[in-house]
């Protein structure tokens, strides 16, 4: 009897010990926080989960990669604007190998900086971009992505060596063509008919087109060469379609633009023309007043002489 009772006590102790072990194991899987409440175990405490238990997550596309898609036209702009590669080149892609009407933008980030680029993309100041993106402006996200893409391309490819300085003969020939002192070989009009620039005497040329003093720095050597070759602006296309510039004329005009790039643009001739017109009108008024005054003096003198003669005759 005593022996069976001892056996039962031993079994109860074993069950109790096993229950305590199980409880300790369960508590170790759910640690208790300082407040006394159980807290969730961290990944470091529980170990890595199996790949099937964790949801798959895709990495976000970088701004530079998204800007590349926009630049090359693989992804359309939200507001319907044309792809940058329609007019511009970039050195890392084959699009820059063909003729493009706009400048190569490989080093545009280091030339202008992010703030100026943001401003230009928000409100493009140069034709034909100002007209193209007026109805389809870029969104804030698209501007950021394009700037990130241009920054990546600028840092990936070192800047090319500066072009050689133009010769004095090429500069003088280009200035003569611009000012109309030398005729274009194919009969095209002189640049001064519509444009003005530094180095052109008063009245500084036409005002229908923009001032071209800073055209070399705006477009760069490659962009300027393409612009002079294609003359893609709407008014110029009609004028030069049957009267293209020769290769030598393009080089001479490019040399002239490069030589004046660091000079100050001429002042608007409007003020000088207004002053000149005022002086001319004042002179005409004075001459008219003087002529009318002389006529009055003559008529009065003649009348006095006639009256004096009549009085002398009466005597």
Q: What is the pLDDT of residue 6?
A: 52
Per-residue pLDDT of the chain (315 residues; tens, 9 = 90+): 444 555 455 666 665 666 655 555 555 544 444 444 444 444 344 444 444 444 343 445 689 999 999 998 899 999 888 888 888 888 777 554 444 567 778 888 888 888 988 988 988 877 778 787 888 899 999 999 999 999 998 888 766 566 678 899 999 999 999 999 999 999 999 998 889 898 887 777 777 888 898 888 887 787 788 788 888 777 788 888 889 999 999 999 999 999 998 888 877 655 656 677 788 888 887 777 777 766 766 776 677 766 766 665 555
Q: Long-range CB contacts (< 8 A, 24+ apart) of 97-101?
A: 99/226, 99/229, 99/230, 100/223, 100/226, 101/226, 101/227, 101/230, 101/232
Q: What is the pLDDT of residue 84?
A: 87
What is the CATH number that goes with domain 168-259? 1.10.760.10
Rounded-to-integer distance, Cα 212 and Cα 209, Å: 9
Rounded-to-integer distance, Cα 180 and Cα 171, Å: 14
Rounded-to-integer distance, Cα 214 and Cα 62, Å: 35
Rounded-to-integer distance, Cα 178 and Cα 189, Å: 9
How do the domains of the chain map onto residue ranges? 63-156, 168-259
Q: How many helices (H) and strands (E) does the chain have?
A: 11, 0
CATH class in words for 63-156:
mainly alpha
Q: What is the pLDDT of residue 177?
A: 94
**Residues in the chain, how many?**
315
Q: What is the pLDDT of residue 174?
A: 93
Q: What is the pLDDT of residue 50?
A: 41
């Amino acid at each position: 009897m005593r022996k069976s009772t001892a056996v039962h006590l031993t079994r109860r102790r074993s069950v109790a010990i096993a229950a305590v072990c199980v409880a300790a194991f369960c508590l170790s899987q759910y640690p208790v926080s300082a407040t006394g409440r159980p807290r969730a175990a961290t990944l470091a405490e529980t170990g890595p989960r199996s790949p099937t238990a964790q949801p798959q997550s895709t990495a976000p596309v970088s701004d530079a990669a998204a800007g590349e898609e926009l630049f090359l036209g693989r992804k359309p702009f939200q507001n319907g604007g044309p792809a940058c590669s329609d007019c511009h080149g970039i050195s890392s892609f084959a699009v820059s190998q063909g003729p493009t009407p706009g400048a190569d933008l490989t080093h545009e980030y280091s030339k202008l900086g992010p703030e100026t680029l943001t401003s230009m993309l928000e409100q493009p100041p140069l034709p034909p971009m100002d007209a193209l993106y007026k109805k389809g402006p870029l969104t804030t996200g698209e501007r950021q992505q394009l700037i990130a893409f241009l920054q990546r391309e600028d840092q990936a490819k070192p800047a090319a060596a500066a072009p050689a300085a133009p010769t004095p003969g090429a500069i003088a020939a280009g200035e003569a063509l611009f000012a109309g002192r030398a005729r274009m070989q194919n009969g095209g009009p002189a640049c001064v008919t519509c444009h003005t620039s530094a180095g052109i005497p008063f009245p500084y040329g036409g005002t229908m087109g923009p001032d071209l003093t800073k055209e070399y720095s705006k477009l760069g050597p490659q962009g300027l060469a393409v612009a002079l070759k294609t003359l893609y602006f709407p008014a110029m296309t009609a004028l030069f379609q049957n009267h293209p510039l020769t290769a030598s004329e393009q080089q001479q005009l490019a040399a002239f633009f490069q030589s004046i790039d660091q000079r100050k643009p001429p002042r608007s001739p409007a003020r000088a023309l207004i002053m000149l017109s005022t002086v001319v009108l004042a002179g005409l008024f004075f001459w008219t007043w003087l002529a009318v005054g002389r006529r009055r003096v003559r008529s009065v003198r003649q009348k006095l002489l006639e009256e004096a003669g009549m009085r002398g005759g009466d005597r």
